Amino acid sequence: MWKELIEAITEQLNDHWIKLVTAAGFMIVGWYFGRRRERRNWTKREFLDRLNISLTYIEAGTLRIRTLIEKDGEEIFLNKHAAATIRKFADKTVPTKPIIPIPENDSWFFLNGVLNEISEKYSAGLIAAEAGLPVEKQQFLICLTNEADGAVRTRKIRAMVVRKSLLLNLPEDMPKLENPWHRTRWETLKCMAEAYEKSPFQFAEVEVMIPK
């Protein structure tokens, strides 16, 4: 019995060894280039497979940036192809143009994924309002960016969340900065304010209700 089994396995190997070697070769090559890409991304501090949703605001004359949510792109866009597509678009940003150039026909899909994440995180206010409890309502704008300026410590796809009234009325002078590299965020805010007037399809608007 064992002899027959060994002979059968040997026969299969003789018939398909080229396919097996080829498959193993592709696996090794894929592993090598995957590790190489990971090292390159770490060296350049690029993590475009991550999506950071951050709130930018001005408090007491100081520009502040706070992370609300951070997840893999596939978790937010629910599709590997969509996550790969947004990374491809993000690669096209340059220091003076940090807004990801997503075609108008695709903008809603990507922005809506971010909007859903924010809506879920802050759904308590919506339930409170429906129950007749007092809430405070604020309108926010969402814009997908990839800040490519050299001063940025890590490059990620960032969904910038900013109060609509602030973006429409940015102060002329730069506010104080918590960190020197936040100057890049101030420049991004100015780009967003200009873009909102010319191409509002690059933004999604969300109403957040905060229980009092």
Amino acid at 49: D
On the question of pLDDT at 8 being above 60, the answer is no
The per-residue pLDDT for 135 is 92
CA dist., res. 172 & res. 180, Å (int): 19
CA dist., res. 79 & res. 114, Å (int): 14
On the question of pLDDT at 56 being above 90, the answer is yes
Among 136, 130, 146, which Cα is nearest to 192's? 146
Q: In the chain, where do the E strands start and end?
A: 46-59, 62-72, 135-145, 155-163, 176-177, 203-211
On the question of pLDDT at 42 being above 60, the answer is no
Q: What is the pTM of this model?
A: 0.76
How does strand 203-211 pair with strand 135-145? antiparallel
On the question of pLDDT at 14 being above 80, the answer is no
Strand order in the sheet with 176-177: 176-177, 62-72, 46-59, 155-163, 135-145, 203-211
On the question of pLDDT at 168 being above 90, the answer is yes
On the question of pLDDT at 206 being above 90, the answer is yes
The per-residue pLDDT for 154 is 75
Among 189, 180, 176, which Cα is nearest to 63's? 176
